Amino acid sequence: MIGRLLRDHPYFAAFLGAGVALALFHLLLVSIGGPARADDTFPRILRLVYLLACASFAALALAKRMLALEWAPLAVARTVVDEALRMKIAVVFVGLLLVCLAGLPFTIDSGSSALRYRVQTLIHYGLTATSSLLSLMTVFLACGTLSHEIQDQRIFTTLSKPIGRGPYLLGKWFGLLMLNTALLAVAGCAIHVAVRWMSSRQALDVLDRNIVDTEVLTARVSVNPEPPKNEFEQRVRERIEKLKAQAPDEYGDTPAKQREKERQIRADVEKQWFSIPPQRSASYVFRGLDAAKRLGEPVQLRFKLNYLGKWAEMNEEGQKVRRRFQVNGRDLPPLWIVLGRFQMLKIPAEVIDDRGEVRLTVFNNDPEDPERLKDVTLIFARGAGLEALYRADSFGGNFWRALGMVWVKLAFLAILGLTAATFLGFPVACLISLAVLVSAWISGFLMMEIHRYGVDYESAGAQGLAWAIRTMVTVLAGVLRQYARFSPAEQVADGRLVPWSDLFACLAWIGIGWCGLTGLLGWLIFRMRELGRVQV
């Protein structure tokens, strides 16, 4: 019976054999170096890889079982899963992923660094490795499963059966989805368990432990203060008019140059709004904190202050200044602020007013020693330099929503690869799909920087070409930036909420919109394509 089981299920036999080999290896280590040796990093990683491989195998077996339902596209889907595993395409990527996930916790677990960084690194690297490796696997597999089938003419036999080209393509996509679901579930569980294990390790001090609990293994909503719109726009307009009147050359003689100048002015005004001149104060209002008040969650005011201007004592980052803060009119004790580093003020929920607002006022003078550093202009760092955060969910929920986004993006890559393979051979289809993937990854950067390209070109021809390139890249990056927008690894590692609304938006944009359009395009091409070639 066992012999038959092993003969009929070679993968089961392989896993069993690997388990026995591992046990023997463990015994060997114990016999050579005693129990301590068996607990060394390498054997532990090996054991973990084995465990994860078994889990992946079980998850894929379950996925295959689900694909055994009586529906023709599911038959195709099941074959895709078999192909992925038996043709070793997926095995390579899965092997890499499992080694990464098993090795990562032990690699970064050095007692000398703060626990919060170790946990954050584990989350960030774990999620990034999972999404990157599965993305690559999906592209190669999606392109390969269809283009090889057309090239090897296996598709002749399959499509001579009563299955349309649409359902056939759908089946291929389902297969890739199931494969990704199974692997993502295993990887997700592995990262989750590893994070829990890591967070239970020794922290540097109580503060470190506290940060892990309240800033990393949590899901916080972030609120940024917005400058008053009318006032802000008026300032921008005034600056533009002034520049036009005083230095029209500097304003620019082409629309592209003028747009660029206006963008710079807008950034300057915003920067100005976030800066506090010496001996002055500035107020910033955080709105939409009703939920924190309702939940009774304290608000974390997180900020990073830099300085402007020359001053001998401020010549290095990390310089401290003492400043006074007011929250909703209540004075806080004077605080020592380390310039150039993030700091946190914890505000009780009761302080939030009935409109759900918190007004923070910063006084740019030393309340106890007015002469000390009195000429320094302080400025909040760009981006997340000033924000209010409150806990809205647990780490677990956040983490799995993030994985949901990864799954949706993998679904898009799967249909993208399949669509490319409907009319291209394997290498070109892979190249196109990878180009789209990389463009999507860097679309944020492209959107930020492309407007500068070719602005200074002199000749009309060069300007025209630059305009064409700018337009093309802007359209491409504009379409693809949704992909980069839904990149939750950093958010989760930073303990920021990945809201359901983002997951649904990701599902709507990428899962339904992009997948639908790409799939429709693929189906149209595939439907019109002749599968036979000249063979007379």
Residues that bind other proteins (CB under 8 A): 7-8, 70, 72, 74-76, 78-79, 82-83, 86-87, 152-164, 530-536
Residue 520 beta carbon to other proteins: minimum distance, rounded to whole angstroms: 19
Whether 74 contacts 68, CB under 8 Å? yes
Sign of the C-alpha dihedral computed for residues 267, 268, 272 and 273 taken in this order:
negative
* String of DSSP letters for 38-106: HTSHHHHHHHHHHHHHHHHHHHHHHHHHHTTSS-HHHHHHHHHHHHHHHTSHHHHHHHHHHHHHHHHHH
Q: Are 141 and 417 in contact (CB under 8 A)?
A: yes
d(C-alpha 208, C-alpha 222), whole Å: 21
* Pair type for strands 320-327 and 335-338: antiparallel
162 or 383: CB nearest other proteins? 162
Of 179 and 195, CB closest to other proteins: 179
Give the residue with the Cβ less far from other proteins, 175 or 225: 175
Cα dihedral angle (37, 38, 42, 43), rounded to 10 degrees? 160
Q: Report, in Å, the least distance between residue 473 CB and other proteins.
A: 29
Report, in Å, the least distance between residue 163 CB and other proteins: 5
Q: Which amino acid appears at position 10 of this protein?
A: P
Closest to other proteins by CB, 312 vs 534, is 534
Those residues whose C-beta lies under 8 Å from the C-beta of residue 229, and which sit 6 or more positions away, are: none
Q: Nearer Cβ to other proteins, position 152 or 458? A: 152
Give the C-alpha separation, 500 to 401, whole Å.
7
- The kind and range of the H/E element at 302 are strand 299-308
Residue 137 vs 436, nearer CB to other proteins? 137
Cβ proximity to other proteins, 84 vs 416, nearer residue: 84
Maximum Cα interatomic distance, the chain, rounded to a whole number of Å: 95
CB of 302 to other proteins, least distance (A): 53
Supply the minimum distance, in Å, between the C-beta of residue 13 and other proteins.
12
Find out whether 137 and 94 touch, Cβ atoms under 8 Å.
Answer: yes
Q: Based on CB atoms, which residue is closest to other proteins, 158 or 474?
A: 158
Smallest distance from the beta carbon of 68 to other proteins, in angstroms?
A: 9
Question: Rounded distance, CA 305 to CA 337, Å?
Answer: 8
**Least Å from the CB of residue 87 to other proteins:** 6
In the bound complex, what is the minimum distance in angstroms from residue 422's beta carbon to other proteins? 15
